[in-house]
Amino acid sequence: MKASLVIMAAGLGSRYGGSKQVDGIGPNGEILMEYSIHDALRAGFNKVVFIIKPEMEEMMRRLCGDYLAKKTALDGSPVEVAYVFQDFSSVPDFYKIPAERTKPFGTVHALLCAAEAVHEPCCVINADDYYGIDAYRTMYEALTKLPEKGQALMVGYLLKNTASLHGTVSRGVCTVDGGRLQRVREALKIQLYPDGTLRDLAEDQPLDPDTVVSMNFWGFAPSIFPALKAYFEAFLRNEAGDNIKAECLLPVMVDHQMRAGELEVEVLHSEDKWFGMTYREEREIVQQAVRRRHDQGVYPASLRA
């Protein structure tokens, strides 16, 4: 089965204090997304689509795109590699972009920019998160059974395993019933405290540590793209306005589609632990975790061999 791994890598990483997507943390300078690609390919994926800023293309090719194009997928086919750009050129003409705006318009806009490159079931991920081998195996197997329309997939993680002691994080807080996603609420300022308690500072309310959250690990059929387009255009017309920081987010869009009866989402579970680099202080923790996996034989000595 043809299946794409779509990597959203155009974000600026402002809280991290640099371009965390290309910060080498592996024993040979491997960047975090290389582990996602390695895990996805051994799960069965055979195409990788990078969503990047135009100025990142040369760097992305040099870091991992060129050697990926020489690899063979599990089914024996050459790994297909594509690059798409998230910039203002893809924003509809009816919307006037504020002069002060520099950031892209969020994850809905990011995935929409990949519409011309993705014609098969796809797994959509953040570039700066580690999801684990089991997550990709589970997602690939589920994608092989995904109907062409009306259904999607999400790998869920527990909130307590995804928050940070170094500052607030934003998460899609989920309501799940019988393995089906019922609601997603985007909580933009979740704080983890040393005693393990969690609080949504924006709503001034406590959060259950075992709450399921979305970490932008989605599975979609190509039929999602018209819905993305319509939702993004409505966002620009009704919400964005002159707000230079307004973002159109996938969890919110999925919630809207579910409430409209247009989409059902199956929640998948992974045995692996998520980790990521929201803040620079987390780099060493992630680096140590990755190197342990190399030492344990989970990963080869070099991902680039």
Beta strands of the chain (E only): which ranges? 4-8, 47-52, 80-85, 122-126, 129-130, 151-158, 169-177, 180-192, 198-200, 205-207, 212-220, 264-269, 275-276
Residue 40: CATH number of its domain: 3.90.550.10
In a domain, 302, yes or no: no
Number of domains observed in the structure of the chain: 1
In a domain, 258, yes or no: yes
Single pTM value for the model: 0.92
What's the domain range around 139? Answer: 4-295
In a domain, 161, yes or no: yes
Q: Which of 233-238's residues contact partners 24+ apart within 8 Å by CB, and which partners?
A: 233/92, 235/105, 235/108, 236/91, 236/92, 236/94, 236/95, 236/105, 237/94, 237/95
In a domain, 305, yes or no: no
Tokens 């390695």 belong to: 38
User: Taking the CB of residue 230, how many other CB atoms lie within 10 A of it?
Assistant: 12
C-alpha angle 79-32-51 in degrees, rounded to nearest 5? 55
In a domain, 265, yes or no: yes
User: Taking the CB of residue 236, how many other CB atoms lie within 10 A of it?
Assistant: 20
User: What does each of the 305 residues of the chain score in pLDDT, given as a tens digit?
Assistant: 899 999 999 874 444 345 544 568 888 888 888 999 999 999 999 999 999 999 888 888 888 888 888 999 999 999 999 999 999 999 999 999 999 998 889 999 999 999 999 999 999 999 888 998 999 999 999 999 999 999 999 999 999 988 888 889 989 999 999 999 999 998 989 999 999 999 999 999 999 999 999 999 999 999 999 999 999 999 999 999 999 989 999 999 999 999 999 999 999 988 777 888 777 788 888 889 999 999 999 999 988 87
